[in-house]
Amino acid sequence: MITRYEELLKKKMSLESYEKLALLKNPKVMEFVGSFVEHCDPESVFVCSDSEEDIQYVREQSLALGEEHTLANSKQSIHWDSYKDQARDKTNTRFMVYKENMHRMKALNSIEYGEGYKEIMDISKGIMKGKSAIVLFFSEGPTESPFTIPCVQFTDSWYVAHSELILYRSAYTHFLKMKESEKGDFFRFVHSAGQLNERGNSINLDKRRIYMDTENNIVYSMNNQYAGNSVGLKKHSMRLAINKAGKEGWLCEHMFVMAAVDREKNRKTYFCGAYPSACGKTSTAMIPGELIVGDDIAYFRNINGEFRAVNVEFGMFGIIKDVNAKDDPVIFENLMKNQEVIFSNVLMSNDKKPYWLGMGVAAPDEGYNHFGKWHKGIKDSDGKEVPLAHSNARYTMRLDYLANIDKEGFEAKDGVKVQGILYGGRDSDITVPVEESPDWKDGILLKAATLESETTSATLGAEGVRKPSPMANLDFVSYPLGEYTMNNIKFVEGIKEVPKIYSNNYFMRRPDGSFVTSKLAKKVWLHWAEGRIHNEYDAYQTPTGKIPKYEDLKALFKKHLNEDFSKEDYEYLFTFRCTKWIEKFERTKAFYKKMDPDTPQEIFDYWDQAIERIKKAKEKYGDLIKPGDYKGV
Ligand code: SPV
Ligand code: MN
C-alpha cells in the first residue's frame, strides 16, 4: 500500500513492524499512525500485534526504560506516576466542540474546537522526540461481536501500553479480519507522557491536557501517566462511546456487571450497577458468593428485544487502599501471588515488596514510592507529610485471575441478559438501603438522576455536603445531560423484559453517627432485589417505590450473614423522610437546570409530580413515614 507516509514509517519502524501495519490494508489506520508519527516525531515506532512475543516485548521495554520495576515476585511490577499526577485531571480534560454547539456544552468543560485543536497540536508537536513509541490495536467489548468498538492507541509510554494489554482485549487480528466497509470506524488515541525526569515521570504537568474530539472519535492526551489520564481505552474511550451510543440508540454506562447467585434455586441473575466513587461499586461487584463480570464500564444493547450488557474491559484498575485479607480476600490473595500485576503509586520496600494503605500488615519505615526515596515522616515541598502510598494507588490485573469470575458472562459475545440495575449513592440520612422503582422511567428519573454522594471526613472540605452525581456518570457524559437522560429513558423501547431498577445506599447512620449495618449487609439488599425479580417477596409501598418487609429481611440476614436483624434497625433504615426527599429533588432540579438548560420540560414535570405526591404524603402521614404505613395519597 502506497501512502504519503510510507517512507517516513519505513524509516522509523523495523521491517517487521511496518509489515504488520501494511498487512491490515487499512488506509485510515495508515493515515492515523503516519500523521502522528510525523507530528510527534518519535525516534522509533513498534507495532504490537496480539502475539505473546509482542506483548512480552512491551513488558520488557517498560522495565528496560524504567517506567516499571520488577518486584520480588518476578511477574509483578511497580510503576509510579508523578507526585502531582495521581488522579484524573478534571480541569484539563475538555471536549473539543464546534462553535455552534458550544452553548449547550459549556457546563461539561468544553473548549471551542479550533482553539482546542491548535493548543493540543502545539503541545504535541515533536513531543516524542528521542523516544520510542508503540502502536496497539484493541477492542472495547469482546472482539467480533455486536458490541465491539475497535480502537488504535499510539503512545510513547510502555507502561500505558502494558496496562492496556492487561486491561483490554488485544485486537490486531480483529483489524486484520475487518471487512472493507468496517475499516474506517475505530476510536483513535494519541498519548505522550512528554518529557520525563530521571525517575521516568512526566515533568511538564503545566501542559497536561486531555482533549476529546467526539466529532471525529479521537482523543489527545499529553504530559501525563496516571492511567485515568493516559490510558485511551478507559475513560477517554468511554466518553467517545457515550457520544456514539447517544447517536446510535444504545448506552455506555459507568457500571459493573455481575451475577447474583441463588445456589438453592440454581439460578443466576445479572445486575449492572452505578455508584459514584467510594460508594461501594467494586465491593458490590465482589460480594462474596456472587460472580463478577466487570467492575467499571458496561455497554447496553437491545439484541433481539433483550436487554444485554457486556463488560467492555478485560482487566481491572482497582483502588488498592484498604484491600486486605479480611475485607477483600479474593483480590488480596491474587495480589500476593506471583502473577502479572502492575502496582501503581504504592511503596516498594528495600526487599522489593509492595505496601499500601489499609493493607492490614505492618509496613516498613522506608522504601521508594510516588514521592521518590521515602521514609516515615518525610514531608513534601508543601510541608505535608507523605504517606507510604497514595490513597488513589491502584493495581492493574486481569479479571480472569479471580476465582469469582463469571466465565460465561465474561466471554459471551452477545453479553448477558440484564434483569436488575442498581443505583447506589452515599447519604447518611435520606435514601433507604434498597428500594424498587415502579418502572424504568421512574427509576431513571427518581433513582439514577438523583444520585448523590455525601462528603465524609475522609475527603477535603466540609463534611456532609451532597454532591450530585446523575447515573454516577457525570465525569464522562459527553453530550448535554438532559438529552443523555432522555436517551436512558428511551433505551428500553422495544425491550421485552425491562430490568427492574433499584436504589441502594450503604451509608445510613444513626443520629450518633454510627453506621446502622455492617459492610456485609449489601448482600442482603442484593438478594432481596434478586428475589423480587423472581416474584418472591411482597413489598410495602412508599411515595417513590417499593421497600422490603421486615420478615423477609430478617430471614435474609439470617440466611446470608447469620445475623439477627432487629425490627428497630429496620424501621429506622426504611422510614420515608418526606422533607429530605423534597429537598433532594429540588437539588436535582437545580443541578439539571445548571448543567443543561435545555433539559426537556417533561423531566422537570416528572420531578414536580413526585414532589407534589410527597407533600401530600407528608400532610397525611407526617414527615417521617414508617414502613407499611403509606397507602397512597
Ligand atoms: C474512576 O475514577 O472512575 C476509575 C479510575 O475507574 S480512572 O481510571 O481514574 O477513571
Ligand atoms: Mn470508573
How many whole angstroms separate alpha carbon 225 and alpha carbon 231?
Answer: 8
CA 84 to chain centre: 21
| Nearest residue (CA) to ligand 1, atom 10 | 228
How many whole angstroms separate alpha carbon 141 and alpha carbon 162?
Answer: 18
DSSP tag of 38: H
**What count of other Cβ atoms lies within 10 Å of the Cβ of residue 461?**
6
Helix (H/G/I), strand (E/B), else coil: 147: coil
- Under a CB-based contact definition with an 8 Å cutoff, are residues 212 and 237 in contact? no
| Nearest residue (CA) to ligand 1, atom 3 | 277
Burial of 87 (0-12, 13-18, 19+ CB in 10 A): middle
| Nearest residue (CA) to ligand 1, atom 4 | 228
- The reply to whether 589 falls in a domain is yes
Core vs surface per residue 331-366: b (16+ CB within 10 A) or e:
bbebbeeeebbbbbbbbbbeebbbbbbebeeebbee
> How many domains, the chain?
2
- Under a CB-based contact definition with an 8 Å cutoff, are residues 324 and 332 in contact? yes
CA angle 40, 41, 45 (to 5 degrees): 105
Q: Is the pLDDT of residue 2 over 90?
A: no
**Mean per-residue pLDDT for 572-595?**
98
pLDDT band at 460 (very low <50, low <70, confident <90, very high): low
Helix (H/G/I), strand (E/B), else coil: 102: helix
- The reply to whether 169 falls in a domain is yes
Residue 317, ligand 1, Cβ within 6 A: yes
Residue 119, ligand 1, Cβ within 6 A: no
- The reply to whether 331 falls in a domain is no
pLDDT band at 596 (very low <50, low <70, confident <90, very high): very high
**The dihedral of CA 507, 508, 514, 520: what is its sign?**
negative
Of 248, 276, 292, the last residue of a domain is 248
The residue to mutate among 277, 295, 469, 474, having the most atoms of ligand 1 within 8 angstroms of its beta carbon, is: 277
Distances (CA, A) of 521 to 274, 492, 548, 558: 18, 30, 14, 11
Q: Which residues surround ligand 2, an ion (CB under 5 A)?
A: 296
**What count of other Cβ atoms lies within 10 Å of the Cβ of residue 629?**
16
CA 62 to chain centre: 25
Percent of the chain topping pLDDT 90: 96
The CATH number covering residue 58 comes to 3.40.449.10
**Mean per-residue pLDDT for 124-140?**
98
Of these residues, 151, 252, 279, 578, which one is catalytic? 279
pLDDT digit string (tens) for 178-215?
Answer: 999 999 899 999 999 999 999 999 999 999 999 999 99
Residue 500, ligand 1, Cβ within 6 A: no
Q: What is the pLDDT of residue 461?
A: 66
Burial of 622 (0-12, 13-18, 19+ CB in 10 A): exposed
The CATH number covering residue 539 comes to 3.90.228.20
Residue 234, ligand 1, Cβ within 6 A: yes
Residue indicated by cell numbers 433505551: 491
How many whole angstroms separate alpha carbon 292 and alpha carbon 256?
Answer: 8
Q: Is the pLDDT of residue 106 over 90?
A: no
> Counting atoms of ligand 1 from 1, which one is nearest the CA of 254?
3
Residue 68, ligand 1, Cβ within 6 A: no
> Counting atoms of ligand 1 from 1, which one is nearest the CA of 231?
8
**Mean per-residue pLDDT for 514-521?**
94
DSSP tag of 364: P
Core vs surface per residue 387-406: b (16+ CB within 10 A) or e:
bbbbbbbbbbbbbebbebbb
**Mean per-residue pLDDT for 46-71?**
98
Percent composition of the chain: helix, strand, coil (DSSP 3-state, to 5)? 35, 25, 40
- What backbone phi and psi angles, to 5 degrees, belong to 300? -115, 135
Core vs surface per residue 233-260: b (16+ CB within 10 A) or e:
bbbbbbbbbbbbbbeeebbbbbbbbbbb
**What count of other Cβ atoms lies within 10 Å of the Cβ of residue 560?**
17
How many whole angstroms separate alpha carbon 26 and alpha carbon 6?
Answer: 13
> Counting atoms of ligand 1 from 1, which one is nearest the CA of 296?
6
Of 206, 228, 248, the last residue of a domain is 248
Lowest mean pLDDT among 167-181, 237-251, 327-341, 454-468: 454-468
Of 248, 271, 306, the last residue of a domain is 248
| Nearest residue (CA) to ligand 1, atom 8 | 228
- The reply to whether 334 falls in a domain is no
Domain that holds residue 508: 420-625
DSSP tag of 386: P
Residue 81, ligand 1, Cβ within 6 A: no
Q: Is the pLDDT of residue 459 over 60?
A: no
- The reply to whether 336 falls in a domain is no
Q: Closest-lying ligand to the alpha carbon of 392? A: 1
**Mean per-residue pLDDT for 7-23?**
98
How many whole angstroms separate alpha carbon 472 and alpha carbon 388?
Answer: 30
| 261 CA → ligand 2 middle, Å | 24
- What backbone phi and psi angles, to 5 degrees, belong to 588? -65, -45
- The reply to whether 202 falls in a domain is yes
| 298 CA → ligand 1 middle, Å | 14
Residue 395, ligand 1, Cβ within 6 A: no
Residue indicated by cell numbers 468511554: 238
| 254 CA → ligand 2 middle, Å | 6
Q: Is the pLDDT of residue 404 over 90?
A: yes
By DSSP bridging, strand 500-505 and strand 466-468 are: unpaired
Tell me whether residue 578 is one of the annotated catalytic residues.
no
Residue 159, ligand 1, Cβ within 6 A: no
pLDDT digit string (tens) for 295-313?
Answer: 999 999 999 999 999 999 9
**The dihedral of CA 54, 56, 57, 61: what is its sign?**
positive
Close Cβ partners of 372 (under 8 Å, ≥ 6 residues apart)? 83, 199
Close Cβ partners of 422 (under 8 Å, ≥ 6 residues apart)? 271, 272, 273, 274, 275, 284, 501, 502, 503, 504, 526, 529
- The reply to whether 297 falls in a domain is no
- The reply to whether 339 falls in a domain is no
The residue to mutate among 234, 236, 282, 319, having the most atoms of ligand 1 within 8 angstroms of its beta carbon, is: 234
